[in-house]
Structure 1
Amino acid sequence: MGLRVELFARIRRDARVKGFSIRALAREHHVSRRTVRQALAAAEPPTRRIPARTAPKLDRIRAVIDQILTADLDAPRKQRHTAQRIFDRLVDEHQAVISYSTVRQYVKARRAQIAIEAGRAPVEVFVPQEHAPGAEAEVDFGDVYVDLAGVRTRCYMFAYRLSHSGKAVHRVYPTCAQEAFLEGHIEAFNALGGVPTKHIRYDNLTSAVTKVIYGGGRQRVENERWVLFKSHYGFDSFFCIPGIEGAHEKGGVEGEVGRFRRNFLTPVPAVDSLVELNDQIRVWDEAEDRRRISQRLRTVGQDFAVEQPLLAPLPLEDFDPGLILTPRVDRSSLVTVRSAKYSVPVRFINRKVRVSLRATEVRIFDGRTLIAKHPRTVARGGQCVQLDHYLEVLRIKPGALPGSTALAQARESGAFTPAHDAFWAAARKTDGDAEATRELIDVLLLHRSMDARDVIDGITAALRVGAVSADVVAVEARRVASESNTGWVRPDCHPGANADVLEHRVVSLTQRRLADPAAVIAGLPPDKRPLPSVAGYDDLLKFRAQPSSIPPSKEQIS
C-alpha cells in the first residue's frame, strides 16, 4: 500500500505541474491508463478485492456441525464435543472427505457464534462502567505473610478502594473475622473522611452474609450486627455474583489486593507487631496519591480531592467494632476469650465482665468502666498477663512474685526494667526477701499514678545513695516530674554553675550509720552531738509520791 500511495502522488503531481496527458503519464510511470485514471480520481489507492474462497466440501457438512454445536449448549461441560470428536463423527457417520484442520478452524469460529445467537456467550463480555465521585467503593480481604517478632505468621489484609478515584486504604489484621471486617471499615471511613453515598461492593463474606439465596438474584440474608453497622454509618451493600463469575464486579479492589501485596509487602515484611506494620502502611497509602492508574491523566490524589467533599459525613458517635462477650473471671484472675487468656485486676475474681474483642486488641469492662486492655493474642492457648493486675495479692504473698507468669511477661515486654531488678536486689541485701519484695511492689504501684520514666529516675536516684524505700523513690520521682514540667532551677545558681559537682537530693542515714564515722557521707558534716541520755528522767523519779499503807477513811474520800 505504501508504494502505491507514493506512485499515485507522483502521477498526480506530474499531471498538475507538467500537464501530462493520461497516455503520457502511463508511459512516464510504466503503469496502465486504468491506474492513471484511478490516481487522478482519488489520492488513496483503492483496496484490492480478495475473492471469497469457496469450500465445497465444508459447505455440505456445515449444517451437521452446527447441529452438534447447538446440542452441546445443553450438554454437561465435561461431555461436550471437541473438534477431534466432531471430525471423527463426520468421517464415521457421514463419510465426509475433509481435512481435520478445516473442521477445527470452522468449529473454533462457529462455536462462539452459536452460543451468542442462543444468548449464552461462552466468554464474559465486560462493559466499561462510569463511577460517580463519592458514590461507590469496593472491599476485599487478601492473605499476606508477615515475619511477626521473628515468626512467619499468616495474616489478612483488608483493602478498601473508592471506585471513582482509586484511593485505597489497607490494613493488616491477625484475623479476617467480623471484628477485623468492621474495624477495617472504620479505619477507612476515618482515613478518607466520609462514607460512599450509594453502596459498597462485596463478595459473600461470612462477616456480613449469613446465607446466600440461590436463584434469588443478589438477595442475601445479612447478619444482625452487620445490618446495625450499615445503619449506623448510613450506606448500602451490593453483593456480587457468587464464585469466580462475580469477581469482575469488584475488579478494582481484586486487582488492588495483589498490586499492593507485590509492591509493598514483597519481600515478607519483618516487624515486631502489626501496629508497627500498619503505621508503615499508612505512610505507603499517603504516597499512593502520586500514582496514576492506567492511562488516566490525573493522579489518584487529584481525583480524590474532587471526590472527598462528595462523600457522606461520618456519624457523630463512634461504633464499637468488637465482638461482645461476657466471660467469668477465674481464680487466676483470667478471662478466656477465643481459646486465649487475659488478666484483669484481682478484685474481679468470680465476677462476670464484658469483653470487646477487636481485631488487634481486647478491651475488658466492668459495666462501662474499662478495667483492662491487652493486645490480641492469636496463638491458641496463649496468655496475656499484666503484672499490675496482681500487685495487691502479691503484697500479701510476696513469695509468689519471682516465678510468676506476670513477672516473666513484664520483663519480656520491657515494663519491668533493669532498674526495678537493681532496686529489688539492693533491697534484698538489707531487708530480706519478703520485705524487699513488698518494697518493690510499693514502687510498682507508683506506676499507676506517675509516669514510668519519672519512677525509673526516682529508682536510680534512690539507689545512688543506697536508699531502698518506696517513699524515697516517690519523693524523687515527684521532684523529677516537677522539674521536667516547670523547668525548675535552684535560685542561687546560674546555669552551668557547679556543673562538675555531683549533688544528691536524697541522703541515706542508714548508709551514714553503717559507714566509717570519720567519713563525710553524702555531704553531711560529722555528728559531734553527745549520745542521748535518760538520766534526767531518772531524777524525776525522786519526786514521785510514795503510796500509803493505811487505807483512806470515808471522810477523806468524800
Structure 2
Amino acid sequence: MERWCKIRQRVLREGESIRQIRRETGLHFQTVKKILTHSSPPAFRCPERPKPKTGPYLERIKGILDADKDLPRKQRHTAKRIFEVIREEGYAGGYTQVKEAVRELKRISQEVFVPLVHRPGEAQADFGQALVKMDGVLRKVMFFAMALPYSDAMFIAAYPRECTETFQDGHVRAFDFFKGVPRRISYDNARTCVSQIIGSRTRRLTDGFLQLQSHYLFEEHFCRVRRANEKGVVEGVVKYARLNYFVPVPAVKDFEELNAHLEQRCREDLGRKLRGKGATKGRLLEEDRAAFLSAPAAAFDACRGASTTVDKLSLVRFDCNDYSVPVRFAHHTVVAKGYVDLVRICRKDRVIAEHDRLWDKEAIAFEPVHYLELLERKPGALDHARPLCDWPLPECFALLRSRLEQEGRAQGTREFIRVLRLLERHAVDKVARAIGKALRLRRCNRDVVAQYLYPDEPFSPPTFRLDGREHLQGVCVGAVDLASYQGLLGGRS
C-alpha cells in the first residue's frame, strides 16, 4: 500500500511521467494505469470458471436436494447416488465435480434464523445424556437441564432415565435452585409431556405434565416438530454441561453424590459473565426472580401413580419390576407410586409397603417381613421361601431356631416363626438383644422374647406413708412378742 501511495503522489501531484515510473519500478503499463485509476488496490476477483460438464446439471442436482428435505435423513441422496442418477441421464464428467457441486449447493442453501429476544422470567428445559462411572461401573445417565435465557443461569440434575417422575423431580429441584417458578417454559415434544401432536402448535398433554402445571401454574410453550432451535439456549446448555461437567467422566458412588457435584458446579457458574451481558449470571438472575411466579406453599408430590392388583405371590408390578406387600393384602387393589428413589404402595390412603426404586427390568424387591404371617400357617416353607433367602439376620436367630427345634421339633419351627413376627413391630437389633437375653437365661419361646422387648424399669418397693392420713398418726403399734407365736406352734405339735 505504501508503494501504491507513492506512485500516485509522484504522477498525479508532482507530474512525473508514467514512463519514468515504469523505468524505475519495472511495472507494466497496465499496472501503473490501474494504480492511477484506483486510490487503493482493488479486491481480487476470481473470474467465474465455466463448468462445461456439471453446468447443465446444476438445476437437476438442486432439485434432488430440495426434494430430499421432506425425506428422513437416512434416506436422502448422497453425492455418489446423485452422480449415478445424472450419469444415467447423460452426464459425462467425473464424481469429484459432482461432489463439489453438492457441497456448495448445500452450503448456500442452509437455513437462516432470526435472532430472538429473551425476557426475564422465561425458561427452557430439556434432557441430555452422558457417561458416568458409578460405583466402579461405567453407565449412561440422563441429565435434566433448565436454563433461563435472560440471565443464562442453568440447573443440571442426573437421573437413571427420562420418565414422568424424573421430569417432575427435575422441575421441583430447578425451582428450588432458582428460588421461584418461571412464568413461561419452552419444551420439545417429548413423550413425558406430550401424548399427541395436533397440528403445528396444538398439543395433547400427558396427565403427569398437567399435574405439574396445575400445581405451579406456569405457561407452556412447545417447539414445532424438528425445530429445536426454538429453544436453542437450553440446547447449548446441554452441550456445555456435557463437555464441562462430564469431562473427564465423573467417578461417583451414587446419584446423590453426582447431583451434589452438579449443583455445586451450577452455583459456581453463577459468577461467570458472558459476552454481551452487562453483569454476571448471578446479578441477572435477580432480575429473573423479580419476574418469577411465587412458589406454592405446599410441596409437589413428584411421582407417577398406577392402580394395580396384588397377585397371589403378594407382589405388585410397577414399571416392569415387582415389589412385595404384606400377604394380607394379596388380591386387593392398590396404588403404586413411583418416585425417583423409592416406590410406595398404598391401600385406601394408607402406605402398606415402601421399597427402594428398581431401575432395572424384571427385578423383584422382597421384604421378608411381609411373608411371616403366611409362613406361620405354612411353616414347612420356611427353608425354601425365596423372600427369606440371604436375609441378613444376626447369629442369635439361628441359635434360637436350633434350640427351639431341639425342644419342640415341628412346633419349634412354628414358635421360631412367631419370634420372627416380632420384627413386624420392632427393629432387628432390638429383637436380637431380647433373643440374646432369653438364650442366656435358657427361656426360649416367643412370649419370653416379647417380654424382654419392653424397657426395663428400676424396681422400688412400695413404702407406706402417713401423709394425708392424719387419723392414723395417733395409732401406736406395739412390739410383737414372738414367744406367744412359739407357744402356738408348740401347742399345735
Query: Are the aligned partners of 2:194 and 2:206 in contact in 1 as well (CA < 8 Å)?
Result: yes
Query: Are the aligned partners of 2:400 and 2:435 in contact in 1 as well (CA < 8 Å)?
Result: no
Count of residue pairs the alignment pairs up: 424
Mapping 1:132-531, distance limit 5 Å: 132-135=119-122, 137-147=123-133, 152-198=138-184, 200-213=185-198, 216-243=199-226, 246-271=227-252, 273-293=254-274, 296=277, 298-394=279-375, 400-401=381-382, 403-408=384-389, 411=392, 416=393, 421-428=394-401, 430-432=403-405, 434=413, 435-436=415-416, 438-442=418-422, 445-447=425-427, 455=430, 458=433, 462=437, 469-475=449-455
Deviates more, 1:467-476 or 1:354-363: 467-476
User: RMSD of the alignment, in Å?
Assistant: 5.0
- CA drift of 1:463 comes to 8.8
1:122 and 2:116 correspond: no
After superposition, the C-alpha distances for 1:146-189 in whole angstroms (9 at most, x for unaligned) are 45555554432222222222222222333322232223222222
- Report the CA distance shift for 1:385/1:309 in structure 2 as closer, same or farther (over 3 A): farther
Query: Are the aligned partners of 1:385 and 1:409 in contact in 2 as well (CA < 8 Å)?
Result: no
After superposition, the C-alpha distances for 1:79-113 in whole angstroms (9 at most, x for unaligned) are 7999x97xx99xx89x9xxxx9999999987x589
Question: One-letter code of the match for 1:123?
Answer: Q
Give SS of 2:259's match: helix
CA distance in 1: counterparts of 2:306 and 2:96, whole angstroms: 68
Give SS of 2:270's match: helix
Question: One-letter code of the match for 2:282?
Answer: G
Query: Are the aligned partners of 2:208 and 2:304 in contact in 1 as well (CA < 8 Å)?
Result: no
Query: Are the aligned partners of 1:173 and 1:360 in contact in 2 as well (CA < 8 Å)?
Result: no
Give SS of 2:169's match: helix
- Report the CA distance shift for 1:388/1:4 in structure 2 as closer, same or farther (over 3 A): farther
Give SS of 1:164's match: coil
Question: One-letter code of the match for 2:117?
Answer: E
Question: One-letter code of the match for 2:186?
Answer: R
Question: One-letter code of the match for 1:161?
Answer: A
- Report the CA distance shift for 1:165/1:439 in structure 2 as closer, same or farther (over 3 A): same
After superposition, the C-alpha distances for 1:364-393 in whole angstroms (9 at most, x for unaligned) are 111212222222212222111223333444
Query: Are the aligned partners of 1:72 and 1:81 in contact in 2 as well (CA < 8 Å)?
Result: no
Structure 1 residue ranges without an equivalent (≥5)? 12-20, 25-30, 33-44, 114-120, 480-504, 507-538, 544-558
Question: One-letter code of the match for 2:324?
Answer: S
Give SS of 1:160's match: strand
Which is higher, the Rg of structure 1 or of structure 2?
A: 1
Query: Are the aligned partners of 1:458 and 1:474 in contact in 2 as well (CA < 8 Å)?
Result: no
Give SS of 1:204's match: coil
- Report the CA distance shift for 1:311/1:431 in structure 2 as closer, same or farther (over 3 A): same
Query: Are the aligned partners of 2:400 and 2:439 in contact in 1 as well (CA < 8 Å)?
Result: no
CA distance in 1: counterparts of 2:235 and 2:42, whole angstroms: 47
- CA drift of 1:68 comes to 6.1
Give SS of 2:343's match: strand
CA distance in 2: counterparts of 1:371 and 1:252, whole angstroms: 45
Q: Percent identity?
A: 28
Query: Are the aligned partners of 2:136 and 2:251 in contact in 1 as well (CA < 8 Å)?
Result: yes
Question: One-letter code of the match for 1:332?
Answer: L
- Report the CA distance shift for 1:260/1:431 in structure 2 as closer, same or farther (over 3 A): same
- Report the CA distance shift for 1:298/1:403 in structure 2 as closer, same or farther (over 3 A): farther
2:118 maps to what in 1? Answer: 131
- CA drift of 1:342 comes to 0.8
- CA drift of 1:356 comes to 1.6
Query: Are the aligned partners of 1:443 and 1:470 in contact in 2 as well (CA < 8 Å)?
Result: no
CA distance in 2: counterparts of 1:436 and 1:53, whole angstroms: 97
- CA drift of 1:205 comes to 0.6
- CA drift of 1:353 comes to 1.0
Give SS of 1:278's match: helix
Query: Are the aligned partners of 2:146 and 2:234 in contact in 1 as well (CA < 8 Å)?
Result: yes
1:48 and 2:41 correspond: yes
CA distance in 2: counterparts of 1:241 and 1:221, whole angstroms: 14
CA distance in 2: counterparts of 1:257 and 1:222, whole angstroms: 24
- Report the CA distance shift for 1:212/1:158 in structure 2 as closer, same or farther (over 3 A): same
Query: Are the aligned partners of 1:155 and 1:174 in contact in 2 as well (CA < 8 Å)?
Result: yes
Give SS of 1:356's match: strand
CA distance in 2: counterparts of 1:3 and 1:146, whole angstroms: 62
Query: Are the aligned partners of 1:462 and 1:473 in contact in 2 as well (CA < 8 Å)?
Result: no
Deviates more, 1:148-157 or 1:256-265: 148-157
Give SS of 2:151's match: coil
CA distance in 2: counterparts of 1:349 and 1:254, whole angstroms: 48
Question: One-letter code of the match for 2:452?
Answer: V
- Report the CA distance shift for 1:175/1:47 in structure 2 as closer, same or farther (over 3 A): same
- Report the CA distance shift for 1:190/1:49 in structure 2 as closer, same or farther (over 3 A): closer
Query: Are the aligned partners of 2:180 and 2:294 in contact in 1 as well (CA < 8 Å)?
Result: yes
Give SS of 2:209's match: helix
CA distance in 2: counterparts of 1:347 and 1:210, whole angstroms: 37
| TM-score for both structures, normalised by structure 1 | 0.60
Give SS of 1:205's match: coil
Question: One-letter code of the match for 1:189?
Answer: F
CA distance in 2: counterparts of 1:142 and 1:347, whole angstroms: 43
- Report the CA distance shift for 1:192/1:102 in structure 2 as closer, same or farther (over 3 A): closer
